Amino acid sequence: MQPTQRRLANAIRALAMDAVEAANSGHPGMPMGMADAATALFTKHLKFDPADPHWPDRDRFVLSAGHGSMLIYALLHLTGYARPTIEDIKNFRQLGSPCAGHPENFELAGIETTTGPLGQGFGAAVGMAVAERHLNAVYGDDLVDHRTFVIAGDGCLMEGVNHEAVGLAGHLKLGRLIVLWDDNKITIDGSTDLSRNEDVIARFAACGWHTTECDGLDSGKVSKAIDEAVADMRPSLIRCKTIIGYGAPNKQGTAATHGAALGADEVVAARKELGWNLPPFEIPADVASAWRSAGARGAKDRADWHRRLAASGKQAEFEARMAGQCDNGWLKPYIDQLLTDPPKVATRKASEMALEAINAAIPATIGGSADLTGSNNTKTKAMQPLTHDNYGGRYIYYGIREFGMAAAMNGMAQHGGVIPYGGTFLVFSDYSRPAIRLGALSGAKVIHVMTHDSIGLGEDGPTHQPIEHLQALRVIPGLTVYRPADAVETAECWALALADDKPSLLALTRQNLRPVRTNAAKANLCARGAYRLKAAEAERKVILLATGSEVEIALDLAAELEAKDLGTDVVSMPSTELFDAQDAAYREDILPDVSNKQILRVSIEAGTTHGWERYTGLHGLRIGIDRFGASAPAQDLYKHFGLTSEAILPKILEKLN
C-alpha cells in the first residue's frame, strides 16, 4: 500500500526535529507546519529531476523563509538528490556540512538562491520569473516553459522588499510565479497580532495577484489550490493556513517551536502524536521509496526536453547562454574608435556609449533602472521595454524600487541565461545594499550601475551626495567596485564586470570628465585594479592615487609638482579589490614599500578618507570628504571641499618638508 501524503510529510517533520535536536539549534517549527504543503508541491507539481539538478527547464523553488532550511534539506534528501546525504543532515549546522543554518545556493544543487534575510528570496523569485518569461519569448515553449514556486512566511510578507516585489510581479503579470504563504500567525515575538493587522490577501489582490486559501495541513487541499494557481494567468498567492510546529503536542502553535530544539521529551511526544515509531534519522522503506518515485517524476520530461533541444538547431547557442558565456569582442574596436577622438563626457554617458556596443554584441543583457533611466544612462537605443505584453524586451522599468530591483536581479542572474544590470544613484545603494550583499555572498552575476557618485552631482545636495558609500561597498566581500576615470576606463571596467561570474558595481559621474586615457594600450589596464597612468619624470617623490573624477585633478597636480622638480607618479585606481588581488611584485611596483617615507603617497577621492591609509600608509596624505556634502554647483563644491589642485598642492609641499 502507498503511504499517505501525511506519512510522507511526517518524514520531513521527523528529519527536521531530529536535525535541530542534534545541532541543538535551528528552526523546527516552520518545516513541521509546512510539511504537508511542501509534500503536495514536491510530489505532485514541481517539475525537477534530482539526477540533473541544473536542467534549465526545471521549475525553480525558493524557500524564502530560509530559517526553515531543514524543510528544503529534507526535501532534497528524500527526493533523491546526491546531497544532502543523511550524514550531511545529521551534521546540520556544523562546520563542513552543506546543510548550513540557512540554505546556501553554493552548498547544494537544488537550492536556487541563498535565503535567510527575510523577503529577499521572494524578491529573487520575481527575477527568476522574469528571466523565465524573457527566455520563453526568445526560445519558445519547447525550450523554456517553467514556473517559480516560493514558500514565504509572515516575516517575508512583512518586510518592505516584498512590497516592491509584489508590485513588480503584479505589474509584469508574472503568472508563472506561485507563492505559498505559511500563514501560521506566529513570528519570533509571538502572535502576529502583536505587529500586523493588514489584510494581506487584499494587498496582493490590489497589486494584481490571484489569491486563494487552503488548509495548509491538508496536502490534497494544497494541491487543489496549486492547480487553481497554475490555471490563473496572474501571479498567485496561496494562503496556507498552518500550525507552526505541527505534531509537537505541547508546543505547536507557539513561538516556542520557532527557533530552538523541541527538547527530548517533546520529540518523544511528537513521535507518538505523528505515529512515527522510528529512531532519529531513520526513514521507513515504504516512505523512502515513495519519495524516490516522486523525485523520479521529472525524468521523462527532462529526456523529452533534451530531445527537443537537440532538434531545435539552437543547442549550442542555448547552452552557451545558460552557461553565462560572454564575448568581449566588442571591447577593442570600441576603444580603438574612442581613441580616434577621446570624448569629454561624464562616465555615466561613457557607460551608455559602451552599452551601445555591449547590448548589440551580447543578447543576454537585460538593463533597467529604478526610475532614473535618463540619469543612469542605462537604456540604449535599440532596447525595447520588457513588459507583460512583450517579455522579449530587454529593458525593465523597475519603478522606484531599488531593493526590489537588486533582489530581482539576483534572481535573474541565478536563473541563468540573462545578465542583468540596473541603475540608481550611488547614494541609494543604501536602499539596495542588503541585496547587493546577498548577491555577493551567493555569487549572482549582476552589474549595479550607480551614477551621481560624489559631490560632483552638485545642486541636489547632501541627501544625494555619496560620502561613505564607495568604501562601504568595497568592504563587501565578493563584490567588485569600479570607479572609472574616463570613457576608456569605463569600457574596460564594463568588460571586466561582464567577464566576471560575481557581482560588480560601477560608480559613475554625473559631471563631464576630461579624457585621461588617450593612447592605445596593449591590455585592459583596469584589470589590475590600479596602474601607473603617468610615471615620474624627475626623481620620484610623490605617488598620487586617485579614482574616477579625481584622476584629472591628480594629473594637474603632477604637472605642478614636476615643474618643481618633484617627480610624481599618477596611479589610477579604478578597483581597489582587483589591485589587492595582484601579486606582490606588481603591488610593490605600483606602491613601493609603504613604510618608505622617502616617497609620499597621496590618495584623492571625493568621499570618505576612511580606509585609504591602506594605500597611503599612516604617514601619507588622504584627500577626501569626511562630512556630509552641500548643495551648490559641482565646481563650487570641489573648491569648497578643497578638491582642487590649488588646494591640495600646498598640503603636499608641507608634507614633503
Ligand X SMILES: Cc1ncc(C[n+]2csc(CCOP(=O)(O)OP(=O)(O)O)c2C)c(N)n1
User: Is residue 153 within the footprint of ligand X (CB under 6 A)?
Assistant: yes
Residue 201 Cβ vs Mg ion, minimum distance, rounded to whole Å: 16
Judged by CB under 5 A, the chain residues 398 through 457 that form the site for Mg ion are none
If residue 342 lies in a helix (H) or strand (E), which one and from where to where? none
For position 404 contacting ligand X by CB under 6 A, the verdict is no
Between CA 204 and CA 470 the distance in angstroms is 36
| CB nearer ligand X, residue 39 or residue 378 | 39
Identity of the residue, 197 or 595, whose beta carbon is nearer to ligand X in the bound complex: 197
Binding track over 81-120 against ligand X, x by CB under 6 A = -----------------------------------xxx--
Asked whether position 568 contacts ligand X by CB under 6 A, the answer is no
Among 186, 338, 409, 455, binds Mg ion (CB under 5 A): 186
**Residue 295 binding Mg ion, by CB under 5 A:** no
Stretch near Mg ion under the rule CB under 5 A, chosen from 50-58, 139-147, 179-187, 337-345: 179-187
How far apart are the C-alpha atoms of 272 and 365, rounded to whole Å? 55
Query: Interface with ligand X by CB under 6 A: which range of 185-193, 304-312, 438-446, 453-461?
Result: 185-193
Question: What cell does 616 get?
Answer: 597611503
- 75: nearest Cα among 114, 95, 103: 103
- Least distance (Å) from ligand X to the CB of residue 312? 42
Q: Which amino acid is at 536?
A: A
DSSP run (H or E) holding 448: strand 447-451
Secondary structure string (H, E, C) spanning 346-403:
EHHHHHHHHHHHHHHHCCCEEEEECCCHHHHCCCCCCCCECECCECCCCEEECCCCHH
Q: Is 170 in the site for Mg ion (CB under 5 A)?
A: no
Q: Rule CB under 6 A: is residue 184 a binding residue for ligand X?
A: yes
DSSP 502: S
Closer to ligand X by Cβ: residue 244 or 248:
244
Residue 8 found at the interface with Mg ion (CB under 5 A) = no
From the list 402, 492, 552, 577, the catalytic residue is 402
Give the torsion through C-alpha atoms of 353, 359, 360, 363, to 10 deg.
170
Q: How many CB atoms lie within 10 A of CB 438?
A: 23
- Find the binding residues for ligand X in span 64-83 (CB under 6 A): 65, 67-68
- Give the CA distances from residue 517 to residues 484, 486, 490, 526, in Å, rounded to whole numbers and listed in that order: 11, 7, 11, 11
CB of 162 to ligand X, least distance (A): 11
Backbone angles phi, psi at 150, to 5 degrees: -130, 140
Assess 156 for contact with Mg ion (CB under 5 A): no
| Contacting residues for 265 by C-beta, under 8 A, at least 6 apart | none
Cβ closer to ligand X: 244 or 290? 244
CA terminus-to-terminus distance, the chain: 91
CB nearer Mg ion, residue 192 or residue 645: 192
Q: Which does 422 bind (CB under 5 to 8 A by kind): Mg ion, ligand X, none?
A: none
Report the residue number, 91 or 192, with the smaller CB distance to Mg ion. 192
- DSSP β-bridge partners for residue 187: 190
The smaller minimum CB distance to ligand X, of residues 117 and 466, is found at 117
Q: Which of 18, 88, 112, 154 forms a contact with ligand X (CB under 6 A)?
A: 154
Total number of residues binding Mg ion (CB under 5 A)?
4
DSSP-assigned letters across all residues of 230-254 = HHSSS-EEEEEE--TTTT-TTTTTS
Q: At 550, give phi and psi (nearest 5°).
A: -90, -5
Question: Which of Mg ion, ligand X, none binds 453 (CB below 5-8 Å, type-dependent)?
Answer: none
Does the annotation mark 402 as catalytic? yes
Could you say which of ligand X, Mg ion, none residue 29 binds, taking C-beta under 5 to 8 angstroms by partner kind?
ligand X
C-beta of 411 vs 617, nearer to ligand X: 411
Smallest gap from Cβ 190 to Mg ion, in A, equals 10
Where in 242-301 is the site for ligand X (CB under 6 A)?
244, 258
Q: CB neighbours of 301 closer than 8 A, spacing ≥ 6? A: 47, 49, 57
DSSP H helical ranges for 152-195:
154-158, 160-171
Q: Does residue 187 bind ligand X (CB under 6 A)? A: yes
Rounded CA separation 249/269 (Å): 7
- Give least dist CB 193 to ligand X, A: 12
Position 154 contacts Mg ion (CB under 5 A): yes
Query: Is residue 153 part of the contact set for Mg ion (CB under 5 A)?
Result: yes
116: β partners: none
- Residues near ligand X (CB under 6 A) are 29-30, 65, 67-68, 116-118, 153-156, 159, 182, 184, 186-188, 244, 258
Q: Could you list the active site residues?
A: 402
Question: Which residues are at the interface with Mg ion (CB under 5 A)?
Answer: 153-154, 184, 186
